[in-house]
């Protein structure tokens, strides 16, 4: 009798489990039960179809039931919803939604890949308001058709995570003026706020209005059927809009797991072991609905990304086939395009470290060019690197910049995977041609700066210490030229250009620390070396005035917009 594997849910987790298992076992019966009309589609491409970057909807469909049958001999049943699981009988009850008929299906092993669903709170006044969420192709079609039929002028995106900002960009591509409402004081909560400020600036430069630190209280329909819909915020603002995209987060779709008694976390995620097995050894789970291990800390975490879901599916399939492979954990490597900027990250951010009570870390900032500056169209990459002060092990990195930003984060993610240190970044040999990078790549530069800190060759200070230092009357020196100093500097800084530094040493106190800055931190590092060898006690501002300026960019509380900044060149 053939072994039967039943998989609930397709897309990244379920489909990858099925395909991998078939490659390992030609003779088992594999059944995928998918409650929707599509078993395998490009979730991450959905916003770009709405923005008409992807012109043909058919390109979003990666695999059809017919192709699964042809290539893999897998029985895919779309529009078949599992309504319950009987663990004792090892059966699932299924509703064929096309014909309205229920049936029972037995399994030898069961795989849960239910994914997650958008959070949709019951805000007051929602009825009759064109409010959309984005999870699948039918959702995409609803938004696309609404735009085609109604030609909206304005849109409001509620929530500024990855999907929210992808929708911001793609609605803007359609000529729609977009406002963003976010309860937190920043977009992209997986970034540290000073790095998110680069994204804020890019959004504002593209005419996106940001309303941060203000949640949604409800909605209003136009009086008498004329005028625009209104979003009412918790602070009392009334924001006129033609449509609303609700993107405030997701929750695991784990009611089946709960109902059949599988072990879940307090937030409802399925608990699995390193083999992707649930508390029932005959049931596996993969994808957005499971809790996994953070590779760096070893602690439980949630990483609802396509890459991890695919790997989890592969691990589950291996174990179903008798191969005792293990899932090592996830580090949360991700990338996002926001207009002309690439936003990428990997590993832990500072907020996570603080919440975990981890204090033995340091951070540095660098702003190198994405390729040789003499080659046309070089763009800056602003990067934050976080590392363990005990051994230099890399804990995380964030970057915002031009083309190639994601490549640098991928390199750092690879080093993290091998438990590498900042010293490893120094020594990496990476591709170089002037149109692709520099002889000393951005990753090398981050390694050089961090390694200098680890070896004690440079003492650093941070942008958020500036106010305290000014209040204490500390000596802060801007080593740029007078023209750049006049355009903006750290408050309280005196200007001693680096070319005059050796002749003006008598103006600098030797009996106290001296805090240096330039625009990016490089020229002030050269000044640091000079002062250090002359017997001074200098500190260098990591990331320079550039990180201070963007981090302290203030929001105009009256209109909810950030004022764009323009930093002079170094």
Query: How many alpha carbons fall within 13 Å on the CB side of residue 366?
Result: 21
Q: Is 44 a catalytic residue?
A: yes
Alpha-carbon distance of 215 to 183, in angstroms, equals 4
What does DSSP assign to residue 561? E
Count of other CB atoms within 10 angstroms of residue 456: 7
Picking from 366, 432, 428, 377, the residue whose alpha carbon sits closest to that of residue 399 is: 366
The helix (H) or strand (E) run that includes residue 267 is none
Beta strands in 356-435 (DSSP E): 361-366, 381-388, 394-401
Measure CA 504 to chain center: 47
Given the residues 44, 260, 442, 518, select the one marked as catalytic.
44
Q: Are 19 and 123 in contact (CB under 8 A)?
A: no
Alpha-carbon distance of 216 to 118, in angstroms, equals 16
Long-range contacts of 41-49 (CB under 8 A, 24+ apart): 41/11, 41/136, 41/137, 43/11, 43/12, 43/135, 43/136, 43/306, 44/306, 46/134, 46/136, 46/137, 46/139, 46/140, 47/134, 47/163, 47/166, 47/167, 47/169, 47/170, 48/166, 48/170, 49/140, 49/144
Q: Are 74 and 22 in contact (CB under 8 A)?
A: yes
Q: Are 346 and 416 in contact (CB under 8 A)?
A: yes
H-state helical runs in 280-324: 306-320
Alpha-carbon distance of 403 to 211, in angstroms, equals 28
Alpha-carbon distance of 366 to 386, in angstroms, equals 12
Structure tokens at 458: 């440079």
What does DSSP assign to residue 213? S
In which residue are the tokens 């050796």 written? Answer: 502
Q: Characterise 530 by phi-psi region: left (phi > 0), alpha (psi -120 to 50), beta (else).
A: alpha
Beta strands in 341-482 (DSSP E): 341-347, 361-366, 381-388, 394-401, 460-461, 475-478
Structure tokens at 40: 């395998």
Q: Are 131 and 164 in contact (CB under 8 A)?
A: no
Contacts of 176 (CB under 8 A, 6+ apart): 147, 152, 153, 154, 155, 242
Give the chain's length: 570
Alpha-carbon distance of 17 to 23, in angstroms, equals 10
Alpha-carbon distance of 514 to 539, in angstroms, equals 6
Alpha-carbon distance of 36 to 253, in angstroms, equals 14
Active site residues: 44
């Amino acid at each position: 009798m053939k072994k039967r594997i039943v998989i609930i849910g397709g897309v990244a987790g379920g489909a990858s489990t099925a395909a991998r298992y078939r490659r390992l076992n030609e003779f088992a019966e594999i059944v995928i039960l998918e409650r929707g009309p599509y078993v395998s589609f490009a979730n991450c491409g959905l916003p770009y179809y709405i923005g008409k970057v992807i012109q043909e909807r058919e390109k979003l469909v990666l695999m059809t039931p017919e192709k699964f049958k042809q290539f893999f001999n897998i029985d895919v049943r779309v529009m078949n919803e599992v309504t319950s699981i009987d663990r004792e009988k090892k059966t699932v009850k299924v509703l064929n939604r096309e014909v309205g008929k229920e049936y029972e299906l037995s399994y030898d092993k069961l795989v849960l890949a239910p994914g997650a669903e958008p959070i949709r709170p019951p805000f007051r006044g929602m009825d009759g308001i064109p409010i959309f969420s984005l999870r699948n192709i039918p959702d995409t079609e609803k938004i696309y058709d609404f735009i085609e039929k109604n030609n909206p002028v304005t849109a409001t995106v509620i929530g500024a995570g990855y999907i929210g900002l992808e929708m911001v960009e793609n609605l803007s591509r359609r000529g729609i003026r977009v406002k963003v409402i976010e309860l937190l004081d920043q977009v992209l909560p997986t970034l540290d706020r000073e790095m998110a400020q680069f994204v804020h600036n890019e959004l504002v430069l593209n005419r996106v209005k940001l309303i941060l630190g203000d949640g949604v209280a409800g909605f209003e329909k136009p009086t008498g059927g004329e005028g625009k819909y209104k979003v009412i915020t918790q602070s009392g603002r009334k924001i006129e809009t033609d449509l609303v995209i609700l993107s405030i987060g997701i929750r695991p779709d784990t009611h089946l797991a709960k109902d059949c008694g599988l072990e879940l976390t307090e937030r409802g995620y399925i608990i699995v072991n390193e083999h992707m097995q649930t508390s029932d050894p005959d049931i596996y789970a993969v994808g957005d609905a499971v809790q996994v291990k953070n590779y760096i800390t070893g602690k439980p975490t949630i990483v609802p990304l396509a890459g991890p879901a695919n790997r989890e599916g592969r691990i589950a399939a291996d174990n179903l086939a008798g191969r005792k492979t293990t899932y090592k954990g996830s580090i949360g490597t991700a990338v996002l395009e926001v207009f002309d900027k690439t936003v990428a990250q990997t590993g832990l951010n500072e907020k996570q470290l603080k919440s975990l009570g981890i204090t033995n870390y340091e951070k540095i900032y660098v702003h190198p060019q994405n390729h040789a500056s003499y080659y046309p169209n070089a763009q800056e990459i602003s990067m934050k690197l976080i590392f363990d002060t005990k051994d230099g092990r890399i804990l995380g990195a964030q970057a915002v910049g031009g083309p190639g930003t994601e490549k640098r984060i991928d390199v750092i993610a690879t080093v993290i995977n091998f438990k590498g240190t900042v010293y490893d970044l120094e020594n990496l040999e990476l591709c170089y041609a002037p149109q692709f990078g520099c002889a000393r790549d951005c990753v090398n530069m981050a390694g050089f700066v961090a390694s200098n800190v680890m070896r004690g060759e440079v003492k650093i200070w941070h942008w958020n210490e500036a106010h305290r230092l000014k209040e204490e009357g500390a000596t802060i020196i801007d080593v740029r030229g007078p023209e750049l100093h006049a355009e903006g500097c750290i408050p309280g800084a005196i200007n001693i250009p680096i070319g005059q530094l050796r002749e003006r040493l008598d103006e600098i106190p030797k009996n106290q620390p001296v805090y240096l800055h330039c625009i990016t931190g490089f020229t002030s590092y050269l000044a640091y070396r000079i002062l250090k060898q002359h017997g001074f006690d200098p500190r260098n501002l990591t990331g320079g005035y550039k990180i201070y300026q963007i981090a302290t960019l203030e929001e105009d509380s009256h209109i909810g917009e950030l004022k764009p900044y323009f930093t002079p060149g170094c």
